[in-house]
Amino acid sequence: MTRFDGYRLLACPLCHTIHATVNIVSFNFMAPEYWSDSYSASSLFDNRQGLRRCTACHDFYLQSDAPYIGHITSEQASRLVETPPPYIPPFLRHKIGSESSTPNTSSDTPNTGQSWLKRLKEWWRSTPHDQPQPENTKDAPAEEREQSKKYPRLESVNDKDLAGILENQEKYSVNLIQAARTLYWVYLNDAYRETAKVLTEKRQLPYSAFQPNETQINNMRTLLALLEFADGGSRAITIAELHRELGQFDRAIDILQKISAPSLKSETILDAARQGISAPIPIVYSYQKKK
Ligand SMILES: [Zn+2]
């Protein structure tokens, strides 16, 4: 179960603008869909590798590098923290502008990404930790209310920002670039995910549709090189998965066989490597299996 307790105030390490972020005291990681490259669809908690975008200077930083300024209660936050823009879950982020995947389109509405986004904003409630407006500000015009609020929300990086970060990578730390490359890897795999869903619905094996382009291959290779020097519990599985997606099956198998506490994820990736499958694959937990 995911629980929140007030808000944490964190300063942008670059321009020192203070942002507010909900203080999460327990997580629910459950998502309807998980993949071997760590993609999870509409997860209740998607940390985006800790990569944040400053609302003031528009530059990027890791949350772990943002100085902690203090804590405010949820009640204080309702007066001090800006209302977030409508929350659009990751699995829909790419689809805006894509006509083919527009859901629930009525025949009298033009099927464009923009109108769909507008309608999405109308019906999609913001994040579940939204605070109701306090009584005394309810009648004030929206702009006035917002101007009186002191802290913008902490924002995560968008997928569309990632290529720009990597083009200017000399500006950033190795850890930030590792986070950006990880997100870029998962993002670039999304096109295959869409194709795989269509093929699977047609009862066709999707794996041969995974044909990473030069950008994907270069990103995966560079990420592998960065991870060789990184720490972290799931690093070995990520390294093995990158080798597998690059078609280096023996290397992937070798790494996964040495894992002391195998998981469903590591076993699924090992099984795919043994079958010579390089495509990203769904990790299906028992509660997700169709009965
Ligand atoms: Zn800033």
The residue with greater pLDDT, 87 or 10, is 10
The residue with greater pLDDT, 112 or 239, is 239
Q: What is the mean pLDDT of residues 183-191?
A: 97
Ligand 1 centroid from CA 55, angstroms: 7
Give domain limits for the chain.
Answer: 189-280
Give residue 146's pLDDT: 55
- Nearest one of 101, 15, 114, 97 to 60, comparing CA atoms: 15
Ligand 1 centroid from CA 62, angstroms: 12
| Element containing residue 256 per DSSP (H, E) | helix 249-257
Terminal CA-to-CA distance of the chain, rounded, Å? 24
Ligand 1 centroid from CA 153, angstroms: 12
Ligand 1 centroid from CA 150, angstroms: 15
**Pairwise CA distance, residues 290 & 241, whole Å:** 26
Asked if residues 205 and 199 have their Cβ atoms less than 8 Å apart, the reply is yes
Ligand 1 centroid from CA 23, angstroms: 20
**Pairwise CA distance, residues 151 & 133, whole Å:** 15
The residue with greater pLDDT, 243 or 30, is 243
Ligand 1 centroid from CA 69, angstroms: 15
The residue with greater pLDDT, 89 or 8, is 8
pLDDT in tens, 4-21: 789 999 999 999 999 999
The residue with greater pLDDT, 167 or 261, is 167
Spatial strand order in the sheet of 60-62: 60-62, 51-53, 155-156
Residue found under tokens 């997580």: 27
Per-residue pLDDT band at 60 (split at 50, 70, 90) = very high
Residue found under tokens 């405010």: 72
Per-residue pLDDT band at 99 (split at 50, 70, 90) = very low
Ligand 1 centroid from CA 18, angstroms: 8
pTM confidence score: 0.76
Ligand 1 centroid from CA 39, angstroms: 28
* Residues paired with residue 10 on neighbouring β-strands, in sequence order: 19, 68
Per-residue pLDDT band at 149 (split at 50, 70, 90) = confident
- Measured between alpha carbons, how far is residue 218 from residues 71, 212, 242 in Å? 42, 10, 11
Ligand 1 centroid from CA 59, angstroms: 6
Cα angle 256, 262, 265 (rounded to 5 degrees) comes to 80
Ligand 1 centroid from CA 58, angstroms: 6
**Pairwise CA distance, residues 114 & 99, whole Å:** 10
pLDDT in tens, 126-136: 333 333 444 44
Ligand 1 centroid from CA 134, angstroms: 29
Ligand 1 centroid from CA 148, angstroms: 20
Residue 139 has pLDDT above 70, yes or no: no
